């Protein structure tokens, strides 16, 4: 279940997480997957979350923004940064 789905079901609440710990775990797992496959997985995940964000209710969107987490609803810039990193790692 995505965080957006949890908030939609239970209401918005701040959930502290260690971004560095999450990124480290994903990095360790991603090293076992061929880079070209990772790129496909990233695109699939991006499209899935975009569809979820498009269906967020105005009330949930307002709660997310009021709490200072508007970046959750606008992931394109952050996503592009990671896709650029992945693409730089692929052999040409």
Question: Does residue 82 have a pLDDT over 90?
Answer: no
Q: Which token pair is 91?
A: 């052999």
Of 1, 2, 13, the residue nearest 60 (C-alpha): 13
pLDDT, residue 1, reads 65
pTM above 0.75, yes or no: no
Q: What angle, rounded to 10 degrees, do the helices at 76-89 and 35-54 form?
A: 170
Give the pLDDT mean for 18-24: 77
Per DSSP, the residues of 10-30 read: H--------HHHHHHHHHHHH
């Amino acid at each position: 279940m995505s965080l957006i789905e949890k908030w939609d079901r239970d209401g918005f609440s701040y959930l502290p997480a260690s971004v560095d710990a999450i990124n480290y775990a994903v990095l360790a797992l991603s090293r076992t997957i061929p880079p070209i496959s990772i790129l496909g997985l990233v695109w699939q995940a991006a499209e899935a979350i975009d569809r979820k964000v498009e269906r967020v209710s105005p009330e949930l969107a307002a709660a997310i923004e009021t709490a200072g987490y508007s970046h959750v609803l606008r992931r394109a810039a952050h996503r592009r940064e990671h896709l650029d990193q992945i693409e730089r790692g692929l052999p040409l």
